[in-house]
Chain A
Amino acid sequence: MKATVLEKLKVLAESAKYDVSCASSGVTRRNRPGDVGSTAGWGICHSFTADGRCVSLLKIMLTNVCIYDCAYCINRRSNDIPRAAFTPDELAELTIEFFRRNYIEGLFLSSGVVRNPDFTMERMVRVARDLRTVHRFNGYIHLKSIPGASPELVAEAGRYADRMSVNIEIPTERNLLLLAPDKNYESIYRPMSYIQQGVLQSAEERTRFRHAPRFAPAGQSTQMIVGATDESDRDILLLSSSLYARPTMKRVYYSGFIPVNPYDKRLPALDKAPLVRENRLYQADWLMRFYGFRADEIADERTPRLDLEIDPKLAWALRHPEFFPVDVNRADYESLLRVPGIGVKSARLIVTSRRYRTLTQQSLRQIGVVMKKAQYFVLCRELAMGQGVNELRPELVRRLLTAPQRRKSDKNEGQLTLF
């Protein structure tokens, strides 16, 4: 392996790192004799970078040369950064050698657009094809589809990739046209529906022929940048819930805007990435996917922005005190999930454990319920009425839960003077 590979690797990883997704989940495929590797259903994080993000795949660009000039992107044409490109062989060798040392689960390949979308897409597909057919690589491959790529190339990519993605980038088309004049929603939604068709078609064929080829078995994902434009959280959540309504959409990622091109006047000047807002959006995303909340419940018309101080579930509970208290010994699973402090795991445990005994505060604690929050919203045998959210008023509960924790080193905590 040539010495230039090290330089290329640094440049191209540097360019690829702003992509959030690094999931290797969704496919379980055991090793077949003669092949290299396997995939694990839930995905495995092999390392964590200094920013606490998971490293699961070799997340890399084929090239960071790009003909587009998107305002939010580090690889835009008008930026003066080092440019590089891998050959398919170099990339295949890196992937396999990293994989053999248990560094990674597989490859996440994206690319800047060279010449035109199809030319670029074809080169990406070649890397995936080489890995699968020449090197017999059986690990995970995530391919980023280029906006505007033709259906034939997307169809071929889906045969080799486990997951595919097309990034929406900006939550409204108006702002996308402003920041990325070379892209539009059609060029993004088109490949998305090609992938969807491919997955659904292959699923149907496989019900009839057991060995029909699989198409992107881990579905597709997408990503949008938060905080670069003026969309409210409600707009973002309504968009992601409409995306989740598509049959193959597995994940929508939110990426807190990092000003990589501070000179561009179309972008807001931020000194820090909106990390709290990003976190609240992910919490809201979880509420939609696992807790049965609707987007317009989490951020309704009167509160289009998520509360940065408290999590969206607690915020919903404080806006709807009439829903509480919930009796943990009687309420159904769906209502339990709405209680702040009770997660999916504890809700399940409550439902199974209460067959054996009446649950008390003590047993709730043992199950793992966060009583600090839940105490205002639940009713269980020994908990007397009179301290729930309805009696204390939501404003007071909010103040109790957001009050800063007093440190032990506070002066008045020590021994009081005796005389």
Chain B
Amino acid sequence: MLVFRYDKSFDGLLSALFDAYSLRLFPDALIGPGEPEPLFTERVHDVATDDAHAARVWRGLERRLIPRARSMFVYAWHGEQAQSDQLMLRCLRRVFDEGGDVVADQADPDMKALHRLALQVSHERERMKQFVRLQKAADGTYFAAVTPEHNALPLALDYFTDRFADQRWLIYDRKRDYGYYYDGASARRITLEDDRGMIADKLADEWLAEDERQFQLLWKNYFRALAIPQRTNERLQRRLMPRRYWKHLTEME
């Protein structure tokens, strides 16, 4: 069994594909740095992440795939599913061997799995747009904590920077321990060394701006007044707004 070891970066994956073609050998498994080799490994090839190689593979994809299909690969990359990198590599290989149209082949288990993963990530991105609740802190920064299933925060970044362009905000992924801080001009990735008890599912009370509680109360009351008791359907509510998001939602307190 042939195993490729790479640095678990997107460019690394593209370089691995480059190496596979130049060696004329396709790996049976991919492992990250420091990971133990799987059973029955005969040979391990170390992939050197090379910007030039990655760029060349990406240019090849640009020639073969329409933008939507390319973004599907980017979405799938942000998915956190076991061995999704091997799945991507197999699909990429089919694209280079058979042309970009093969991504439409939904009866193929690999392509179907890739589509499904990309779809899950894109749903998670959508839910982030829906369910992020910004809270105004005392210094005027708006803050929200998120715990998405997949690593979807970078994909939703353009929405937040466009929509809240004249605010300062911080959206923090607590599961992966990083976030984006937007200072009114551009967003940058940060990791808080020590959050001083500030960040839980929501912002702690003592950090809130003066009028924040009031607007939260207004929103909660508005939300409650809007439900029509004769039509109550909590199962539908839970299906559209799954329980795992509730801890971040002001109105579900």
Binding site for B on A (CB under 8 A): 1, 5-6, 9-10, 13-14, 17-18, 30-31, 33-38, 40, 44-55, 58-59, 94, 97-98, 100-103, 256, 258, 272-273, 275, 349, 352-353, 355-357, 359, 363, 366-367
Contact = CB atoms under 8 A, between A and B. Distances in A.
A273 B234 CA distance: 16
27 contacts: A9-B225, A10-B221, A17-B226, A37-B163, A38-B163, A38-B165, A44-B126, A45-B240, A46-B131, A50-B234, A51-B227, A51-B228, A51-B233, A53-B228, A55-B223, A58-B222, A59-B226, A98-B215, A98-B218, A100-B164, A101-B134, A102-B133, A102-B164, A349-B106, A356-B104, A356-B107, A366-B112
Interface in B212-253: 214-215, 217-219, 221-223, 225-237, 239-241, 249-251
Interface residues of B, number: 55
Interface string B82-108: 000000000000000000011011111
B213 to A, nearest CB: 12
Contacts of B106: 349, 352-353, 363, 366-367
A258 B226 contact: no
A31 B101 CA distance: 35
B164 A55 contact: no
Interface in B183-208: none
A103 B215 CA distance: 11
Contacts of B237: 48-52
B133 to A, nearest CB: 6
B18 to A, nearest CB: 26
A356 B223 contact: no
B167 interface: yes
A40 B217 CA distance: 27
Given A6-B217, A6-B221, A356-B107, 20 more contacts: A9-B218, A10-B221, A13-B222, A31-B163, A34-B166, A40-B129, A48-B240, A49-B228, A51-B227, A52-B231, A52-B233, A53-B227, A98-B215, A101-B219, A102-B133, A102-B163, A275-B231, A359-B107, A363-B106, A366-B109
Contacts of A58: 222
Contacts of A49: 223, 226-228, 237
Closest 4 CB pairs of A and B: A52-B236, A363-B107, A51-B231, A352-B104
Nearest to A275: B231
B227 A38 contact: no
